[in-house]
Amino acid sequence: MKVTKINHVAVAVEDISQAKVFWESILGLKLDHIEEVESQHAKVAFFPCGDSEVELVEPTDAESGTARFIQTRGPGIHHLCLEVEDIDQALEELKARDVRLINETAVVMEGRKMAFVHPKSSGGVLIELYQLL
Amino acid sequence: MKVTKINHVAVAVEDISQAKVFWESILGLKLDHIEEVESQHAKVAFFPCGDSEVELVEPTDAESGTARFIQTRGPGIHHLCLEVEDIDQALEELKARDVRLINETAVVMEGRKMAFVHPKSSGGVLIELYQLL
């Protein structure tokens, strides 16, 4: 498997309009855009940062993974997204190594394919894999 | 303040020799080196990843922040390190905005100056600021 970079670090927030003050106005990151990501039941604010991004993720459904994360642990870093060259091959390799996956096959979205690795298999780190299309 | 990139994402681990199997052998990241960072009471494994790094941090002192993090929340993503052009200026700006800091002045280390922002001021995210020297 070829991991090429950190695509983004996702931060779970209760309210993007409040949380973005710190990242935008205090840290001085530039907000690229805010987008509803329906498949993730979330509103996401994208802040490019060098060759990666910081993404603020506000759940729009109280049953979503991000909402439950906030209920349990409070807002904070939610997951690390690594970009890979070939996500289908990566998932096959992970399965062959008995790595537990949240998405057994890649989910195709606008411009990318993605899958989550279960934190039980990655030392408590929720890892998202991305392949840009 | 000018944030230029994500310098690294730090993952708290109980045992680097066990945890590195996932990052090195399964994800295929290249281990650059492992280093004792005495000021942080930790052993750190550095995995370059694109223009950033993933760092595995194993506490060497049961009273350290990373050790307490693991005791409370289990292993997982511990902090996000952002690189800034001028850390002294960044800390002055943060203080002027009433941002709570763990390090009120930058700690000078080999090749860098660093300071932690308190997660109370950054939406639950422990942020480290780095200026490379």
| Residues 29-48 of chain A whose Cβ lies under 8 A from any Cβ of chain B | 29
- Taking the Cβ of residue A122 and every Cβ of chain B, the question of whether any pair is shorter than 8 Å is answered with yes
pLDDT bracket for residue A57 (50, 70, 90): very high
Instruction: Say which of B51, B77, B119 has its CB closest to residue A125.
Output: B77
Cβ distance of B51 and A1 shorter than 8 Å: no
What DSSP character marks residue A92?
H
Distance between CA atoms of residues A73 and B121, nearest Å: 16
Q: Which long-range contacts (CB under 8 A, 24 or more apart) does A93-99 make?
A: A93/A1, A93/B26, A94/A1, A94/A121, A94/B26, A97/B26, A99/B22, A99/B26
Instruction: Say which of B3, B93, B125 has its CB closest to residue A11.
Output: B125
> Which residues of chain A are within 8 Å of residue B122 when distances are taken between CB atoms?
22
Is the Cβ–Cβ distance between B37 and B44 less than 8 Å?
A: yes
Altogether, the residues listed in chain A come to a count of 133
What DSSP character marks residue B38?
G
Quick one: pLDDT at residue B110? 86
B21/chain A closest Cα distance in angstroms: 10
B109/chain A closest Cα distance in angstroms: 23
How many distinct structural domains can be found in chain B? 1
Query: What tens-digit pLDDT sequence spans chain B (133 residues)?
Result: 999 999 999 999 999 999 999 999 999 999 999 999 888 899 999 999 999 999 999 999 999 999 999 999 999 999 999 999 999 999 999 999 999 999 999 999 889 999 999 999 999 999 999 999 9
Q: What CATH number corresponds to the domain at position A124?
A: 3.10.180.10
Cβ distance of B49 and A3 shorter than 8 Å: yes
CB atoms within 10 A of CB A109: 14
Contacts of A33 (CB under 8 A, 6+ apart): A45, A46
Quick one: pLDDT at residue B40? 86
Q: What b/e readout covers B33-53, taking b as 16+ CB neighbours within 10 angstroms?
A: eeeeeeebbbbbbbbebbebb
Cβ distance of A4 and B80 shorter than 8 Å: no
pLDDT bracket for residue A40 (50, 70, 90): confident
Cβ distance of A3 and B124 shorter than 8 Å: no
Checking if the pLDDT of A39 tops 90, the result is: no
Q: Residue A113: which domain range?
A: 3-132
